[in-house]
A and B are shown apart, each in its own frame.
Chain A
Amino acid sequence: MTDDNKQKRPVVLLAEFDSPDSIIHAAEKVRDAGFEKWDVHTPYPVHGMDAAMGLTDSRLGWIVLLCGLTGVTAAVTMMQWMNGYDYPLVIAGKPPDAIPSMVPIMFELTVLLASFGAVFGMFGLNELPKHHHPVFGSDRFEAFSHDKFFVSIEVEDKKYDAEKTRALLTDAHATYVELVEEEVA
């Protein structure tokens, strides 16, 4: 990555939209055109966008379920072993491994691990943190977190065609279309 070979290559076609209505229509058009490596960037979650993009349901719930089950298993195992087997404590004449008094901590550890699963599972599925992404190469893109809506189509997508894809986005009433380039090493 030296200054000598500062060649640039196009990586992503970025189109800007003004309203939630226009972005959802654009997303439907891109979806119907059969693109796969593309995305929509919005300042807040737009209702119906998952369907408009043809996305399947999030798989996060399964990760959370797994983590929650791990939590409750860990809690039972820990308390049974510590108080019931390794160093039995007889408190208030109750059996050392009595389950009822262990319920609160079983619940807490289930919630704790399930929450870790929800947050870190979400980061994992979203591949975050990821501080570098081609879309950040556009100066206009930072408005995504303000009040603008964007469609980004990767040049690598099989359906991508410099002319036709640009026309598709322009026809969908994009207010601005830009081919974002990236420096090649």
Chain B
Amino acid sequence: MSADKPIAEIGETPLVPAHVTAAYISDAVSGVTEQAAPIGWWIIFGTALLGLGILGVSVGYLFWNGIGSWGNDSPVAWAWDITNFVWWIGIGHAGTLISAVLFLFRQKWRTSVNRFAEAMTIFAVMCALLYPTIHVGRVWVLYWALPLPNQMAMWPNFKSPLLWDVFAVSTYFTVSLLFWYVGLLPDFATLRDRSKSLLRKKVYGAFALGWRGSNRHWRNYERAYLILAALSTPLVLSVHSVVSFDFATSVMPGWHTTIFPPYFVAGAVFSGFAMVSTLMIISRQVFNLKDLMTMKHLELMNKIMLVTGSLVGYAYSMEFFIAWYSGNAYERYVFINRATGPYWWAYWTMVTCNVLVPQVFWFKKFRTSIPVMFAVSILINIGMWFERFVIIVTSLHRDYLPSAWGMFSPTIVDVGCYVGSFGLFFTLFSLFIRWMPMIAMFEVKAALPGAQPSHHAHADDHADAAHAAHAEPAPAE
């Protein structure tokens, strides 16, 4: 297994500079939670709280007046709310991809990024869950979506993709939270052991569950991590597939296509990596963690964005081809209307941001330039929002009979509900980076050069059959 060899042997350069040791990692990462917050953090947190306030006011207004205060109309019954839902849940995909899929592929560079991305996943899914919740209109009967006995003696319709979504998204949230916590456990122990004040010791100690780094524990711990990664990998693919079923199983032109599940998953990974990149660039600057989140990490992420951006571009062109090839007049019209109709500007914003802009990452000069990658990551997120807007609004606003056509324009409440979700996200995220280890300390330590025993040759001293049977170490990072 190449993963167990010293990285020099497989022709790779170390992930972190030479002066980074296990002690350096504990100090640098835990230090963020132990020292006074830098001014940059207060700026982000303050702005985020303002956004959270906007969300509170918007949602409160919405609950009081009903969802008629959104711009949704007939025929555009799904608009910004579902656009925002799909956008946020897509962003949430990068976390699990980085922590689970890259773990199974033994990509050790993930260790600097995964904690961060997992936190982002959880907060993004929380933002996403907000929209279907408020879109049902009568939030007080939201529990009808669950298979609970009720006064009508009815059960949910399990043939509805919307119900699949309830199960998929809530499972995804729960499993992501568990995965995140399991990863945090040894790092909480580090924070507990470094604590100077009794309060910190008690709080971090409570979360650390009495972790004592026992190898008898690591054995089960690593197996649990491996199994969770193996379970999360199909899960993450299923979640956005199920989200795409919300559209694909309907008979709307522009939605009723088999390409949707893979197309949505690729887009989700694409936007998720862009968001991780945005957050990483800010955090490593604010907290001075450039030795742990290095240019190499950012460059690798940019490569993934280039790949997934190109996949998304392929999906756009394939959709057009199939619309023509299908010979279906309605299907053809939807796509011509997307590119040249009243929402042409949304379509071309999407193509520019998602397909054209990431192509700059073919060039190493741009791939390793902080300003360029920051701008690109923001543009990708804008582009991915427009992708969902285009899919939802341009399909709905002109479907079959021209007499039923209409237009959508957002209201201030729409804007407030969207802008406010950034407030929720960044409030949670700034609290996370302030109080929790934002880099998986024990995983980075385990991946350092020299962190693992240099050879297993000494096994011949006392090799017997029982021990030899277990000579292959458990997959670890």
Please report A residues at the B interface, Cβ cutoff 8 Å. 20-21, 24-25, 27-28, 32, 39-51, 53-58, 60-61, 64, 78-79, 82-83, 86-87, 89, 91-92, 94, 98, 101-102, 104-105, 107-109, 111-112, 114-116, 118-119, 121-123, 125-126, 128-133, 135-136, 141-147, 150
Main secondary structure of the interface of B (DSSP, over half): helix
Contact A115 B231, CB 8 Å, known A48-B471, A108-B167, A147-B23? yes
B343-364 CB mask vs A (1 if < 8 Å, else 0) is 0000000000000000000000
A145 adjacent to B190 (CB under 8 Å): yes
CB distance from B384 to the nearest CB of A (A): 24
Which A residues lie within 8 Å of B167 (CB)? 104-105, 108-109
A54 adjacent to B466 (CB under 8 Å): yes
Please report B residues at the A interface, Cβ cutoff 8 Å. 4, 21-23, 26, 147, 153-161, 163-164, 167-168, 171, 174-175, 178-179, 181-182, 186, 189-190, 192-194, 205, 209-224, 227-228, 231-232, 234-235, 238, 242, 245, 442-443, 445-446, 450-454, 456, 458-459, 461-462, 466-468, 470-471, 473-474, 476
Contact A129 B245, CB 8 Å, known A45-B222, A54-B466, A101-B158? no
Q: How far, in whole Å, are A56 and B232 apart by their CA atoms in the complex?
A: 26
Which A residues lie within 8 Å of B182 (CB)? 119, 122
Q: How far, in whole Å, are A136 and B189 apart by their CA atoms in the complex?
A: 12
A144 adjacent to B452 (CB under 8 Å): no
Q: How many A-B Cβ pairs are below 8 Å? A: 229
Which B residues lie within 8 Å of A126 (CB)? 214, 216-217, 220-221
Most buried by B among A57, A135, A145, A146: A145
Q: How far, in whole Å, are A134 and B325 apart by their CA atoms in the complex?
A: 72
B456 adjacent to A48 (CB under 8 Å): yes
Contact A115 B220, CB 8 Å, known A24-B453, A108-B238? no
Most buried by A among B4, B158, B168: B158
B227 adjacent to A61 (CB under 8 Å): yes
Q: How far, in whole Å, are A53 and B446 apart by their CA atoms in the complex?
A: 19
Which A residues lie within 8 Å of B456 (CB)? 48
CB distance from B47 to the nearest CB of A (A): 34
Q: Which of B4, B22, B174, B476 contacts A112 (CB 8 A)?
A: B174
Which A residues lie within 8 Å of B466 (CB)? 54
Q: Which of A25, A57, A128 contacts B470 (CB 8 A)?
A: A57
Which B residues lie within 8 Å of A58 (CB)? 219-220, 222-223, 474
Q: Which of B155, B212, B453 contacts A21 (CB 8 A)?
A: B453
Which A residues lie within 8 Å of B189 (CB)? 145
Task: Beyond A58-B474, A118-B231, A144-B212, list 7 extra A-B contacts (CB 8 Å).
Answer: A25-B458, A44-B186, A82-B147, A91-B159, A119-B228, A132-B210, A146-B193
Most buried by B among A118, A121, A135, A136: A118
B470 adjacent to A51 (CB under 8 Å): yes
CB distance from B238 to the nearest CB of A (A): 6
A47 adjacent to B223 (CB under 8 Å): no
Q: Which of B160, B175, B215 contacts A46 (CB 8 A)?
A: B215
Which B residues lie within 8 Å of A87 (CB)? 153-155
CB distance from A50 to the nearest CB of B (A): 6
Q: How far, in whole Å, are A126 and B163 apart by their CA atoms in the complex?
A: 37
**Nearest 10 A/B pairs, CB to CB:** A142-B193, A129-B209, A147-B22, A44-B446, A82-B155, A122-B224, A47-B473, A58-B223, A145-B190, A41-B213
A50 adjacent to B473 (CB under 8 Å): yes
Q: Which of A49, A122, A135, A142 contacts B223 (CB 8 A)?
A: A122
Q: How far, in whole Å, are A172 and B215 apart by their CA atoms in the complex?
A: 18
Q: Which of A40, A112, A123 contacts B214 (CB 8 A)?
A: A40
CB distance from A143 to the nearest CB of B (A): 8
Q: How far, in whole Å, are A24 and B454 apart by their CA atoms in the complex?
A: 10
B459 adjacent to A51 (CB under 8 Å): yes
Q: Which of A51, A114, A130 contacts B467 (CB 8 A)?
A: A51
B224 adjacent to A44 (CB under 8 Å): no
Q: How far, in whole Å, are A122 and B183 apart by their CA atoms in the complex?
A: 13
CB distance from B49 to the nearest CB of A (A): 32
Which B residues lie within 8 Å of A147 (CB)? 21-23, 26, 445
Q: In the complex, what residue of chain B is closest to A135 when comparing beta carbons?
A: B212
CB distance from B255 to the nearest CB of A (A): 16
B215 adjacent to A83 (CB under 8 Å): no
Which A residues lie within 8 Å of B205 (CB)? 131
Which B residues lie within 8 Å of A131 (CB)? 205, 209-210
Q: In the complex, what residue of chain B is closest to A134 when comparing beta carbons?
A: B212
A41 adjacent to B215 (CB under 8 Å): yes
Contact A47 B210, CB 8 Å, known A54-B466, A101-B158, A111-B175? no
Q: In the complex, what residue of chain A is closest to B443 when comparing beta carbons?
A: A44
Contact A45 B221, CB 8 Å, known A50-B470, A87-B155? yes
CB distance from A82 to the nearest CB of B (A): 4
A20 adjacent to B453 (CB under 8 Å): yes
Which B residues lie within 8 Å of A136 (CB)? 212
Which A residues lie within 8 Å of B157 (CB)? 83, 89, 91
B452 adjacent to A20 (CB under 8 Å): yes
Q: In the complex, what residue of chain B is closest to A107 when comparing beta carbons?
A: B238
B228 adjacent to A145 (CB under 8 Å): no
Please, could you name 19 A-B residue pairs with CB atoms under 8 Å apart, sorted by A?
A41-B212, A43-B190, A44-B22, A44-B443, A45-B222, A46-B218, A50-B473, A50-B474, A51-B468, A58-B222, A58-B223, A108-B171, A115-B231, A119-B224, A119-B228, A125-B220, A126-B216, A129-B210, A142-B194
Q: How far, in whole Å, are A12 and B79 apart by their CA atoms in the complex?
A: 64
Q: How far, in whole Å, are A113 and B117 apart by their CA atoms in the complex?
A: 24
Which B residues lie within 8 Å of A112 (CB)? 171, 174-175
A48 adjacent to B453 (CB under 8 Å): yes
